[in-house]
Amino acid sequence: MAITTQQLIQWKQQGRSIVALTAWDYAIAQLLDTAGVDLILVGDSMAVVLGYETTLPITLDEMIYHAKSVRRGVKRALVVVDLPFLTYQESLQQAMHSAGRVLKETGAQAVKLEGGYPAIAETIARLVEAGIPVMGHVGLTPQSVHQLGLRQQGKTQEASERILLEAIALEQAGVFSLVLEHIPADLAMQITQKLSIPTIGIGAGTHCDGQVLVTSDVLGLAEKHPPFAKVYTNLRETITKAVQDYAVEVRDRKFP
């Protein structure tokens, strides 16, 4: 049975932790869904598997292409798609057009937008009114890398208060869930206690209502990974070994 945004909100009330990971194609999505991942994010972090340094170059067409492939692999998980840099900040019309395309063309159930400043909260409120489920994202917002860098956010009293206020504004705007990225654990706990919607942490400590990581980091496919990621298996080593073994056998005429 497919998971709904309402169900995730119920799970928070029940204290059931939400398991989220990113996916960028059919094969990975199908594996994650079968393994029981609750929420699959087609993150703009797939920039890393496409060979980009930052998430900024990813286009809406690329997100839609990958989201369609992910969607074909998923039966149970909720599928959420990142709106990429400058496909929603320009105007409400632009955000509505981009989010509408994602839902219409990919079959995903929701979109995610970065930021909690007033103009974004206003845009999100209008998307939600139009029937588009939206996930929020505050703390470290990688689309602002050239302003923020990749450092932990919310370290000063002032910054932590601002992030808390953004989280509250996004809940009021109607997000069904909120990503908290690379902020102190005590701030994430405070936000999680304050909100009725589930928080999904990435580098935000243990007190969130769920956790998300980038799948290429978890699988050890990425060349480098953030300090808060945990590498559960090293597929770079596994793949390199398999390919080298194959090459040796072909050159020695042992295979086939």
Q: Which amino acid is it at 74?
A: V
Which are the contacts of 203, defined by CB distance < 8 A and separation ≥ 6?
140, 152, 181, 182, 183, 226, 227, 228, 229
**Catalytic entry in 90, 181, 223, 249:** 181
Binding mask 148-177 for ligand MHF (x = CB under 6 A): -xxxx-------------------------
- Please report the sign of the dihedral spanned by the C-alpha atoms of residue 195, residue 157, residue 119, residue 185: negative
Return the number of the residue (14 or 185) whose C-beta is nearest ligand KIV: 185
Tokens of 178: 């909120």
Site for ligand KIV in 168-187 (CB under 6 A): 179, 181
* Helix, coil or strand: residue 219: coil
Shortest spacing between CB 183 and ligand KIV, in angstroms: 12
Which are the contacts of 83, defined by CB distance < 8 A and separation ≥ 6?
60, 63, 95, 98, 99, 102, 111, 112, 113
Return the number of the residue (160 or 177) whose C-beta is nearest ligand KIV: 177
Among 87, 192, 211, 216, binds ligand MHF (CB under 6 A): 216
Q: Which residues of 187-220 are buried (b: 16+ CB within 10 A; e: fewer)?
A: bbbbbbeebebbbbbbbbbebbbbbbbbbbbbbb
Active site residue 181: yes
Site for Mg ion in 46-105 (CB under 5 A): 82
20 neighbors 210 (Cβ within 8 angstroms): yes
Is 41 a binding residue for ligand KIV by CB under 6 A? The answer is yes
Is 115 a binding residue for Mg ion by CB under 5 A? The answer is no
User: Of the listed pieces 18-26, 43-51, 69-77, 89-97, which binds Mg ion according to CB under 5 A?
Assistant: 43-51
- Measure the N-to-C terminal CA separation of the chain; round to a whole number of Å: 43
Among 5, 22, 152, 199, binds ligand KIV (CB under 6 A): 22
Binding mask 94-133 for ligand KIV (x = CB under 6 A): ----------------------------------------
Site for ligand MHF in 28-47 (CB under 6 A): 45
169 neighbors 116 (Cβ within 8 angstroms): yes
Summarize as ranges the residues that interact with Mg ion (CB under 5 A): 43-44, 82
Active site residues: 181
Summarize as ranges the residues that interact with ligand KIV (CB under 6 A): 22, 41, 43-45, 82, 179, 181, 202, 212, 214
